[in-house]
Structure 1
Amino acid sequence: MKLVILGGGGFRVPLVFSAVLAARHRVAITEVVLHDADAARLSVMHRVLTAQAERPATDGGARPDGARGSGQAPGPGLRVHATTDLDEAVAGADVIFAAIRVGGTHGRVLDEQVALKHGLLGQETIGPGGLAYALRTLPMMDHVAARIAELAPRAWTINFTNPAGLITEAMRTHLGDRVVGICDTPIGLVRRVARVLGVDPAAESVQVDYLGLNHLGFLHGLHVEGVDRLPELLADDALLGQIEEARTLGLDWVRARGAIPNEYLYYYDYAREATATIRGADQTRGEFLDAQQAAFYLEAARAEDPRALWAHTLAEREATYMAEARDADASRDDDDLQGGGYHEVAVDLMAALLAGERHRMILDVANDGIVPTLVDDAVIEVPCVVSEGTIRAEVPPTPLALDELALVTAVKSADRGIICAARSGSRQRAWHAFAVHPLVDSAAVARDLVDAYIRAHPTIAAVLVEP
């Protein structure tokens, strides 16, 4: 069985591969193909993965990459190879993981800085930075999806290219239901709430009441045998204070909302504070990662065994994630730095689609009437049951509240506008998409943003060639 990792030179690829290795007794992957346009980074990651395959953890303990071992050796016949040729990579694939970053981390730096210079939030997937990221990514992902449809029409594509919901929606034009978006933040939220309440989230008696978009969702309830346990969590400071998202957004505000938001709601609910914190920092998140990764790849290219260097760099990267949303002396929960990330979500989804397992998980799939204000082919984030090669969205018992619905509808309007702009090359459509986004407060500023991103990004200038 052939697994392809698009963006195979990316820094987090060893996490994905370690999860694949640990699950080989569940899914019979015999070939892993790494694809990336950056040959130098691809070479580094190919070396890291080859070392992982040759020397896996066999004691069930921690791997050099920080994931947990299963005691499973990789087994005979696992081939790992790398290519910069997209068609060679995807031809005949059974499953494709897509994690592409067009423009690299330097592109992210520009996305953030242009927004900040206009007094707006500079963040990778939220607000104007996310729309700019999408503009320079969509043409590539349209091309990738078209090649998959031609060369591997029966493959499942599991997308974590950001902005994940928007990109997945665009790829559906070519791949339909055979492309699915994933993100670990909603699943992590559910696991944290379930742990505090002493509930097994995988039990058949448990219903997860979650709904929204990627990086814009709400946990409205956790029903156990028909009884919603969320109210007791919201009423108890000691319990609620154990939830990372509640601490980030404030316990009182979470209670006022009556739901526990995805952690990325911080950027909507505290946009001024987040922007001020980012502008007051020595460097943006993008600048930190750009410098960190440049140093890593340079040193790793010379290292005899780059795995230890990679593990150290990963720990530093994860510990500083969303630092602007926490107090200066606060750190992420230990459990957030171990397992359960998007790489394990991807493997669980792969096992359900290809190996007969059954999983309930929160995925980015077609709306199909679940949110009535959105068209059916809009991609939303919702609990799903996955088994025997099928994905069935579960209609949550609680609809979006009016304020939640307004936010979701406005962001989806911006998302779809950006897809239209990228495909038509229209600056006017891009302007409209930026202007209707809730984190852009002026049509005049929106027009200036489009012009500034065109000046900053040659890739965006090449997309927006029409008035």
Structure 2
Amino acid sequence: MKLTILGGGGFRVPLVYEAVATAATGLTVNELVLHDVDPGRLRTITAVIEGLGEQLTAEGRAAALPRLQAATSVDEAVAGADFVFSAIRVGGSESRTIDERVALGLGLLGQETVGPGGLAYALRTIPVAMEIAQAIAQGAPEAWVINFTNPAGIVTEAMRTVLGDRVVGICDTPIGLVRRVGRLLGTDIVGDRAATFDYVGLNHLGWLRSVTIDGQDRLPEVLGSDDLLEEIEEARIIGKDWVRADGALPNEYLYYYLHTDDAISRITSAATTRGEFLAKQQGDFYLSALEAVDGRPAKAGASRSGTASTGGSCCSSPLGLWQSALHEREATYMAETRDEARREEDIAGGGYQEVAMRLMTAIATGRQERMILDVGNAPAGSDAPAAQRIVPVLPADTVIEVLCEVDEKGVHPQPVGQVELGRLGLMSTLRAAERSICEAARTGSRDAAWQGFSTHPLVSSPQLGAKLLEGYEAGHPQIAALLTH
């Protein structure tokens, strides 16, 4: 079995490799191809992975190390692949900082996937994602594509116009929420076939609305208990009284919609934005690790964590440098949403790599899985009437985030209850703005981009939309070149 990772020089790729090498889900991958447009990053992450393979073998955890290859050509990387993980970051962390700062400079939310920063990210990413989709359609038409690339909902929606139902978007936050609720109720909600749950929304905009065990909805019990809600990070950061009044547990990203001013204040009061932190931290890591790979001493002070030393210690190896940087990165994730250090139980659960591996394993082996995925509101290419759509009032080709059954025949979205008007309105407004951005990315229409920025629910202003567009054109040459009319 051949697995290709696009964005294979990315910082989190070793986490995927570890899941593959340890056969964490029982699936054996024979060939793993890493693709990246940056040869230095690709060489660095390849070295980290080789060190990780040696460590896993020494610890007796390696099940079957896949044959590892690196490629800078997309066509070469995807040819004959059975599965493709798309985890690209167009423009890198440096572009992310521009996305954030342009919005913050106008008093708007500067965040990677939520708000105008997410729209700018999509505008840069969708043209590249479409080229990738075409390459996969040509070189691996039977491959399943698992999209990690943010903003995952609209990027997946764009790629589906080429690849249809064989591209699926993933996120680890919804299933993490479900599992935490299950632990509080003393059962594995995902694995227990006597239990079910209703989760609906868009990527980074969804709600857990019921948890049914033995025929009884137990979510009201959770919502009614301050002690239980204290154990759920989403309730802590958004507010116990709010989630109780709303009657649902939200995805953690709803914080940015419900506490926008507070989020902006916290971001602007920090010394750096999240993008600036990661650009510095990961830039230091890649510099130090690449120097270690090439046999040159790391520059003094090159690593924020202080691990870039010489002398061959474990921490000065590419693997040691990566592990130190990973710990710092994970501990500070979404730090602006909380007052305390992130609890270990809040970050446990496997992350993207577990979700991706479970999805791939279910399709490859037929072992049934229940997962929350980003999928079409109806099968791709169909003009299904409203009654046959998951959310009847949304267009058939809208990508939504819902519970799915997965097996060897593919991904099967499950029905959801009627979506409340308020949630539906927010979902519709957000996706309409994202679709305008998608139109701009595919046609070069400046008016479409202006509409997208202006109508986002965290902007809602043609004047601010125009200023955002001007700022992003000035900050991103590729956006200025893209918007030709």
| TM-score > 0.5 by shorter chain | yes
Q: Which residue of 2 aligns with 1:142?
A: 130
RMSD over aligned Cα atoms? 1.3
Distance 1:342 1:24 in 2: 13
Amino acid in structure 1 at the alignment position of 2:375:
V
Q: Which residue of 2 aligns with 1:65?
A: none
Task: For residue 235 of structure 1, report the CA deviation from its aligned partner.
Answer: 0.5
Choose from 208, 213, 217 the match for 1:224. Answer: 213
Shift in CA distance, 25/286, structure 1 to aligned 2, threshold 3 Å: closer
Matches within 5 A, 1:174-323: 174-201=162-189, 202-303=191-292, 305-323=317-335
Distance 2:45 2:63 in 1: 17
Gaps of 5+ in 1: 60-70
Matches within 5 A, 1:61-72: 72=61
Q: Which residue of 2 aligns with 1:38?
A: 38
Amino acid in structure 2 at the alignment position of 1:54:
E
Q: Do the aligned partners of 1:360 and 1:383 also contact (CA within 8 Å) in 2?
A: yes
Q: Do the aligned partners of 1:120 and 1:439 also contact (CA within 8 Å) in 2?
A: yes
Q: Do the aligned partners of 1:355 and 1:388 also contact (CA within 8 Å) in 2?
A: yes
Distance 1:58 1:225 in 2: 45
Alignment partner of 1:79 is 2:67: yes
Say which SS state the counterpart of residue 383 (structure 1) adopts.
Answer: strand
Distance 2:352 2:286 in 1: 23
* CA-to-aligned-CA distance 1:412-444 (integer Å, 9 cap, x gap): 101111111111100100111111110003111
Alignment partner of 1:129 is 2:117: yes
Q: Which residue of 2 aligns with 1:159?
A: 147
Q: Do the aligned partners of 1:25 and 1:72 also contact (CA within 8 Å) in 2?
A: no
Distance 1:117 1:385 in 2: 44
Q: Do the aligned partners of 1:373 and 1:409 also contact (CA within 8 Å) in 2?
A: no
Q: Which residue of 1 aligns with 2:392?
A: 372
Amino acid in structure 1 at the alignment position of 2:376:
A
Say which SS state the counterpart of residue 162 (structure 2) adopts.
Answer: helix
Distance 1:337 1:249 in 2: 17
Say which SS state the counterpart of residue 56 (structure 1) adopts.
Answer: helix
Aligned length: 451
Shift in CA distance, 17/389, structure 1 to aligned 2, threshold 3 Å: farther
Distance 2:403 2:25 in 1: 26
Distance 1:169 1:92 in 2: 24
Distance 2:470 2:75 in 1: 34
Distance 2:24 2:216 in 1: 37
- Taking structure 2 as the reference length, the TM-score comes to 0.91
* CA-to-aligned-CA distance 1:364-404 (integer Å, 9 cap, x gap): 000121122211111000000001131110112x3222111
Task: For residue 36 of structure 1, report the CA deviation from its aligned partner.
Answer: 0.3
Task: For residue 298 of structure 1, report the CA deviation from its aligned partner.
Answer: 0.6
Shift in CA distance, 225/149, structure 1 to aligned 2, threshold 3 Å: same
Gaps of 5+ in 2: 293-311, 379-388
Task: For residue 207 of structure 1, report the CA deviation from its aligned partner.
Answer: 0.7
Task: For residue 448 of structure 1, report the CA deviation from its aligned partner.
Answer: 1.2
Q: Which residue of 1 aligns with 2:432?
A: 413
Q: Which residue of 1 aligns with 2:305?
A: none
Say which SS state the counterpart of residue 262 (structure 2) adopts.
Answer: helix
Say which SS state the counterpart of residue 403 (structure 2) adopts.
Answer: strand
Bigger mean CA offset, 305-314 vs 91-100: 305-314
* CA-to-aligned-CA distance 1:315-374 (integer Å, 9 cap, x gap): 1001111111111xx121212333420101000000001122110000000012112221
Q: Do the aligned partners of 1:23 and 1:347 also contact (CA within 8 Å) in 2?
A: no
Q: Which residue of 2 aligns with 1:333?
A: 343
Distance 1:22 1:257 in 2: 42
Bigger mean CA offset, 47-56 vs 175-184: 47-56
Say which SS state the counterpart of residue 218 (structure 1) adopts.
Answer: strand
Choose from 407, 411, 415 the match for 1:387. Answer: 407
Q: Do the aligned partners of 1:362 and 1:384 also contact (CA within 8 Å) in 2?
A: yes
Distance 2:5 2:182 in 1: 32
Say which SS state the counterpart of residue 55 (structure 1) adopts.
Answer: helix
Amino acid in structure 2 at the alignment position of 1:418:
I
Alignment partner of 1:111 is 2:99: yes
Q: Which residue of 1 aligns with 2:457?
A: 438
Q: Which residue of 1 aligns with 2:88?
A: 100
Q: Do the aligned partners of 1:352 and 1:389 also contact (CA within 8 Å) in 2?
A: no
Amino acid in structure 1 at the alignment position of 2:32:
V
Say which SS state the counterpart of residue 254 (structure 1) adopts.
Answer: helix
Q: Do the aligned partners of 2:199 and 2:207 also contact (CA within 8 Å) in 1?
A: yes
Distance 1:302 1:420 in 2: 42
Say which SS state the counterpart of residue 238 (structure 1) adopts.
Answer: helix
Q: Do the aligned partners of 1:254 and 1:261 also contact (CA within 8 Å) in 2?
A: yes
Q: Do the aligned partners of 1:157 and 1:180 also contact (CA within 8 Å) in 2?
A: yes
Q: Moved runs in structure 1, 4+ residues, more than 3 A?
A: 336-339
Amino acid in structure 2 at the alignment position of 1:231:
P
Distance 1:373 1:358 in 2: 30
* CA-to-aligned-CA distance 1:296-318 (integer Å, 9 cap, x gap): 00111123631111111111001
* CA-to-aligned-CA distance 1:80-101 (integer Å, 9 cap, x gap): 0111111110000000000000
Distance 2:58 2:411 in 1: 33
Identity rate of aligned residues, in percent? Answer: 55
Distance 2:263 2:463 in 1: 22
